[in-house]
Amino acid sequence: MAPPAHRPANTVNNQSAAFASTCIESNVNNTPIPAISGNNDLSVLMTALKELRKLMKEAPQLIAALQAMKYANNTADKLQLLMNACASSDFLDDP
């Protein structure tokens, strides 16, 4: 019996993950994420929601991508939806 054929690495998923990471890292100024605990829980949460709301106004295609993620079969497909939305966003070109 012949040994099983060597399967090539799944470079599509690796490329997708790398692009998603680049997309996310290029738009974040690497500020530390505050821990939600103590008296400022609500304040931290409200600030995060306000920032999310601004982002959704600037890039409405992200909302469509997030809704489409419900029907994606796996993580790679979900990342691909988000990457496509990021790639089609004008906000990436803003200084």
Angle between helices 75-87 and 61-68 (to 10 degrees): 170
- Cβ atoms of 16 and 79 within 8 Å: the answer is yes
Q: Which residues have a Cβ under 8 Å from the Cβ of 22 and sit 6 or more positions away?
A: none
CA–chain centroid gap for 11, Å, is 19
Burial of 82 (0-12, 13-18, 19+ CB in 10 A): buried
pLDDT tens sequence for the chain (95 residues): 555 554 444 444 445 555 555 555 555 556 666 555 666 788 888 999 899 888 878 778 888 888 999 999 999 999 999 888 888 876 666 55
Give the domain ranges of the chain: 58-94
